[in-house]
Structure 1
Amino acid sequence: MAFQRRIYLVFLGFLGLLVSIGFRSVFSMVMVHVVKSKHAEEEGLFGKCNVNGTSRDLRVTGWSVAETQYFQAAYFAGSFIMQLPGGYLATRYSPRRVCGLSILISSVLMLLLPVPIQYTDSPVPVFIIRFLQGLVEGWSVPAMNGVISAWAPKSEKSRMVTFVYAGAYLSPALAMVLTGSLACWVSWNASLFLYGGLGVVWSVLWVCTIYDTPALHPSLHPSEADLFTREGANVGRGSQRVANAIPWTKILRSLPVWAIILGSFCRNWIFSMMITQVPQYFKDAFSKDIATIGFTAALPELLMTIVTISGGVFIDKLIKHNVLSTTHGRKLAQCMGFGVEALCLIGLRFVNSKNDNIALVLLSVGVGFSGLAISGYQVNPLDLAPQYVSILTGLSRLGTLGAILSTSVAGKLRRQDVHSWQTIFTIAGSIHLAGVVFYAIFASGEKQSWAESPENRPLLAPVDSVGNISTYVPEGEDGAQTSTQSKLTSSLFYPKNKRPLRNDFDEDGNPSWFLNTI
């Protein structure tokens, strides 16, 4: 069986989100661990965690839990600011390089975090680093979606997106377990170094082995090329012309786009709660130790990952076999996923400090079902506008405002008792229900009339009966080959199968100097 390049893209994208989204959970767990506790030893599932011994060689006494919540708010504020600019960068330049650079810088900052935590009493340096991490990570998801859009055949969009994003949703589970174990028995900062190092390695691998579009890959197998010929999204690489043609007014007036944005707002509200506040919830309400918290908080995320992957395959099959239209498939996924989660969160209002098992069941069911919604709002930009998916993703990621408000509300309302958490969960569940209703009314799965770019043209030439790919010669506006393109034609194709090579020129024929030196 021939090696499928789109499968490799999905696998590497999965690993990228597994590591980069894990940065948030790692930091949250470290903060839960290092902020002063009333107990030198905490009992848990795996024995005593010696919080004053070699595994707890750092004690932050001057910071409060509320301050650690504001560290998270700083991160989400930075991310909010850069979502739309990140989408524009991915549309104007190489989305794969924008994504790689984003995670590379954030990884380096992750490696620097232990220094101000250990050697400064002021929270300001940590606040600044978290804000900078948010700024640079704001580019990553719009850029990654831009690459996925170009590589996702029509019949595989849901499963490709959900498989990649399964990394984001498995990430908190893995990060919480690793951080809890390493902090308790190795060192408080071990997970910061581990994840920072993995992020650097992944960034280099991504930039060196991934291509922006199938047309730019030098050794795509003919069978896979034929698939893109039949079902490809016909997405061009980033260029100034594509960026200049973005129909901003029509996008901002589109109700299906706003349905995605509101869905993202609700998702970010809940997701930030799961990875930054739920660990503190288990400590406040049920007095769990750090290792137990890691395993307990990981279970809902693990179930969500399973539902995310299986849900993507299920929705694709319903759409492919015409059981549901694309629009109805997206609405079914969104309403079932987020609707069940909203009801479970509201149900937590009735859980007291003696019912930790009930709380875990409600969180596991609710968060697990929410994985189905990834086949709704998260895939939706690829349906509405494949060429502008980075822009739509950037707009939808403005929903990180929900994460900012979520952490701020938790910081204001939270006390070290279960009653304050009941209020926090009720607010979150109510907001979630409102988002479900809006999406059910206004969402669409059809390509929008404003979604065609003047740059769109066949990216892959037809495959003949023996598997050879005929040479594609780009044309200028007057139908003739431009002079720059004439000079490049001989170097754009391999002699063997005439696949186009990567090149360092943008769609205007000019050197794509920005980010191409990475």
Structure 2
Amino acid sequence: MCCPKRFIVVGLGFLGLLVSIGYRAVFALVMVDVIKNQSVGGKCTVNASDPTRYLSLAGRVTVQFSQNINTAYFIGSLITQAPGGYLALRFSPSRICGISILLSSILMLILPLAIPFNKWLTMAIRFMQGFVEGASVPALSGVIAAWAPRTEKTRMITISYSGAYLSPTLAFLVTGYASCYVSWHASLFIYGGCGVLWSLAWFFCIYDSPADHPGVGDREKLLFIEEGPGHRGGNRLIASGIPWQSIFTSLPMYAIIVGSFCRNWIFSLILTELPQYFHDVFNASIDDIGWMTGVPEVFMTLVTVTGGVLVDKTIKSRKCGITTTVGRKMAQCIGFGTEAICFFVLATLGNTPENRTTAFILLCIGVGFSGFAISGYQVNPLDLAPQYASILTGLSRCGALGAILSTAVAAVIRGKTGSVNNWQTIFWIAGGVHMAGVIFYGIFARGTRQDWAKVKEGEGLINPVGSESDMHTESREHIYSKSADYGSTRREEEDYSDNDKIFSQSVDNGALRRSDYDEGDNWFLLTI
């Protein structure tokens, strides 16, 4: 029996994020290893006298410059974040996603040659990696949305996007042990090679939607006929009617952007700066740094999945009068508020062995609880304007500016010595930024569909199987609307005053009336 094609989409989506998001952590930890003092080795077996396995850039590349290289990556990523949302809506999301990660993987394989050769070339490559990766997540979101039937949306997207949150853990562990016991560049080749192989598998197996795939089985085809395929990319009609002015003047939209800014500030600090913190303050070996910085992300993954389901069910049950707006704000305040407090406490710690354990515990708690916030700002685009979710997501990901500022500020404050006091200042600033974001989101966030996102009379119906002139493979798509035995599907924009549920399920003569994008329970789609 052939494996359902949507399962392949889920599996490859999980692996794609597991590898591509891990590139950031791999590079950050490799740089900590190659610019560290040679006397710090821990239990590592790599011999400093073997140039093929050990690289020392001490004296040639400073810690501050390596942090600036991380900043260059985030600058490149910022440039293509917003366009990525449009590309996912207008063109083939599967091809954009595959090309994006393929190019980044090739650059990853070039890094081992560039790092010992020239630091400016290394910075240029990292900038290009960020630039080409910017469109990958919005494009992947478009593919997953198209392949997720209504009754399977949550489980499919949860599994797919959990790869993004597990990726730092795997990346830190692999890099720590590979650098310690194999060679300084082993993890770069491992991840770059895996990325290339993943891209080839993605190009060969993945299509933009079930209607485009020639190998969808009868049973799976029946499932999509009964429930309807999800939103797909390449939609010129929707892309031509985006209300840009209303989006750019919406305070709830800015609340999402602020939430993304704060998230990127902390996330980049965790991925690119914490390894250096444990080295500077506690003189930890590269293998210890790998697991201490990776484990907190495991807790975040667990909280993201379980907390998201809990928040979603609480909103739907209306217990204690919790509306969508209240639910989003509660999730945001619990997640980011707890993390901010943990960073404030972290800023008071010294460099004793006991404080090393305390710092690790605080990170597990703070980073873990931040998973609740994923059910806040990251899901909000579906509440405000479900039909423009990919656009709002692309704009919100301009919060990557927080990652740029975070790494730049850390590079300046840390200075040349990386003293305990300098790191305490960095953590005070991070906690303050997070708490300010909680307050802003708590005031301006909304969970209702905005006026500019409501469908006008006569514009509510969209053919889910592609009646537009630019919809290719029309003959294949026609099978979903032609069969009288299986029924038909149509999608209709439904307006709810408090839109925690975007779709309706009334069935009339075999036709399933659905919302414009039928993504009401798709809370996990934008959690990255």
TM-score (normalizing by structure 2) = 0.82
TM-superposed CA distance for 1:160, in Å, is 5.1
2:366 is aligned with 1:391: no
| CA 1:83–1:375: 2 relative to 1, 3 Å | same
Alignment correspondent of 2:182? 186
Q: How far does residue 432 in structure 1 lie from its aligned partner after superposition?
A: 0.5
Match of 1:434 in 2: 436
The answer for the alignment partner of 1:365 in structure 2 is 365
Q: CA deviation at 1:306?
A: 1.3
The question of whether the paired residues in 1 share the 8 Å contact of 2:86 and 2:390 is answered with yes
Structure 2, unaligned runs of 5 or more: 489-528
Q: Which position in structure 2 is the counterpart of 1:515?
A: none
Aligned twin of 1:493:
479
Q: Helix, strand or coil: the match of 1:387?
A: helix
Q: Tell me the distance in 1 between the aligned counterparts of 2:226 and 2:451.
A: 25
Structure 1 residue 8, shift from structure 2 partner: 4.3
After TM superposition, the structure 1 stretch with the greater mean CA deviation from structure 2, 403-412 or 209-218, is 209-218
Contact 2:46-2:54 at 8 Å conserved across structures = no
- Answering whether residue 240 of structure 2 is matched by residue 254 of structure 1, we say no
Counterpart among 107, 110, 120 of residue 109 in structure 1: 107
How has the CA–CA distance of structure 1 residues 490 and 133 changed in structure 2, closer, same or farther, with 3 Å as cutoff? closer
- The alpha carbon displacement at 1:491 in A equals 7.3
Aligned length: 473
> Is the CA contact (8 Å cut-off) linking 1:34 and 1:188 kept in structure 2?
yes
Quick check: 90-99 or 203-212, which moved more?
203-212
Aligned residue identity for 1:33? D
Contact 2:226 2:487 in 1 (8 A): no
- 1:208 is paired with a residue of what secondary structure? helix
Structure 2 matches for 1:58-97, cutoff 5 A? 58-61=55-58, 62-97=60-95
Structure 1 residue 425: Cα displacement: 0.6
Q: Pick one of 436, 446, 449 that aligns with 2:448.
A: 446
1:424 match: 426
AA aligned opposite 1:94: S
The answer on whether the counterparts of 2:114 and 2:122 sit within 8 Å (CA) in structure 1 is yes
The one-letter amino acid paired with 1:428 is: A
Which stretch has the larger CA shift, 73-82 or 57-66? 57-66
- String of CA shifts for 1:496-517, please: whole Å, max 9, x gaps: 88899xxxxxxxxxxxxxxxxx
Q: Following the alignment from structure 1 to structure 2, what is the Cα–Cα distance between the partners of residues 140 and 251? A: 23
Does the CA-based 8 Å contact 1:341-1:367 persist in structure 2?
yes
CA distance 1:160–1:448, shift in 2 (3 Å): farther
Over residues 432-480 of structure 1, what are the superposed CA-to-partner deviations in whole Å (9 max), with x where a residue is unaligned?
A: 01111222222233333333679864555xxxxxxxxxxx783x7xxxx
Deviation, structure 1 residue 127: 0.7
Cα 1:422/1:160, change in 2 over 3 Å = farther
User: Where does residue 283 of structure 1 map in the other structure?
Assistant: 279
Give the conservation status (yes or no) of the 8 Å contact 2:247–2:253: yes
Question: Cα gap change, 1:51/1:352 in structure 2, threshold over 3 Å: closer, same or farther?
Answer: farther
Per-residue deviation, 1:489: 4.5
Residues 490 and 419 (structure 1), Cα distance of their counterparts in 2 relative to 1, 3 Å cut: closer
Correspondence 1:57 to 2:59: no
**In structure 2, C-alpha distance between the alignment counterparts of 1:491 and 1:159, rounded to whole Å:** 25
1:331 and 1:214 map into 2 onto residues whose CA distance is 36
User: Which residue is 1:225 aligned to?
Assistant: 224
SS of 1:347's partner is helix
Give a deviation string over 1:279-317, Cα, whole Å, max 9, x none.
000000000010110011111111111111212222232
- Alpha-carbon deviation of 1:66? 0.7
Structure 1 letter corresponding to 2:276: Q
Matches within 5 A, 1:56-455: 56-61=53-58, 62-118=60-116, 120=117, 122-151=118-147, 161-217=157-213, 219=216, 221=220, 224-225=223-224, 228-229=227-228, 235-323=231-319, 324-354=322-352, 355-414=355-414, 415-451=417-453
Amino acid at match of 2:479: F
Residues 187, 427 of structure 1: alpha-carbon distance in 2 compared, 3 angstrom cutoff = same
- Measured after TM superposition, the shift of residue 253 of structure 1 is 1.4
More moved, 191-200 vs 375-384? 375-384
Alpha carbons 1:215, 1:459 under 8 Å: kept: no
Cα 1:363–1:486, aligned 2, differ >3 Å: closer, same or farther? closer
* Structure 2 partner of 1:503: none
Partner of 2:11: 11
Query: Match of 2:347, SS?
Result: helix
Q: Deviations over 1:225-259 (max 9, x none)?
A: 26734xx76x3532333322111111111222111
Is the 1:84–1:398 Cα contact (8 Å) retained in structure 2?
A: yes
Q: Identify the range of structure 1 (327-336 vs 149-158) with the bigger mean alpha-carbon deviation.
A: 149-158
| 113 and 486 in structure 1: CA distance in 2 versus 1, 3 angstrom threshold | closer
For residues 493 and 201 of structure 1, the distance between their equivalents in structure 2, rounded to whole angstroms, comes to 33
Structure 1 unpaired stretches of 5+: 461-471, 477-481, 501-518
Percent of paired sites with the same residue: 51
Q: What whole-Å deviation, never above 9, does each CA across 1:71-115 have from its counterpart, x for those lacking one?
A: 100000000111111112112201222111111110111011111
Contact 2:88 2:233 in 1 (8 A): no
Cα offset for 1:38? 4.3
| Amino acid corresponding to residue 441 of structure 1 in structure 2 | I
1:485, distance to aligned residue in structure 2 (A)? 8.5
Change (3 A) 1:237 1:168: closer
CA RMSD in angstroms, aligned pairs only: 3.0
